[in-house]
Amino acid sequence: MTALNSNTPKVGVRNTRQRTAVVDLLNELDNFASAKDIHRELDNRDAKVGLTTVYRTLQSLADIDAVDVLHMASGESLYRACRTDSHHHHLVCTQCGTTVEIDGGPVEAWAKKVAEEHDFDLTGHDAEIYGTCSKCSKA
């Protein structure tokens, strides 16, 4: 899938100037960002988008799988434009935030097996891998 487009159905039916500003910024980001970080950058650009609107837009984009969401241990959620329609996971640098989309590989089979062993119908799972990228490791 290509980057989010403010004219595509994935952005949603109600395409406002504020919503378009959020989507356009998400398309520019290579790394995950919090709603507050996104709001701060929009503010720096004089986009005049309220924090509540940023949260609502991110939630509606998450609801239709147009953004990837990382749920951090701190309780904060981080967002990034989803680059693919296929199921995937992320490798995330804990130093600089560099993110690589990766195939789940063995995780997919393991999740299915564990669900079956416990008589569950698998409806989804999350698996993210955190570490330090080569640039940060060398620094």
Which amino acids are annotated as binding site, given as ranges?
Answer: 87, 93, 96, 108, 125, 133, 136
Q: Binding site for Zn(2+), residues?
A: 93, 96, 133, 136
Distances in Å between the alpha carbon of 88 and those of 19, 54, 111? 26, 25, 13
Give the residue ranges of DSSP H helices in the chain: 17-28, 35-44, 51-63, 106-117, 134-138
Q: Binding site for Fe cation, residues?
A: 87, 108, 125
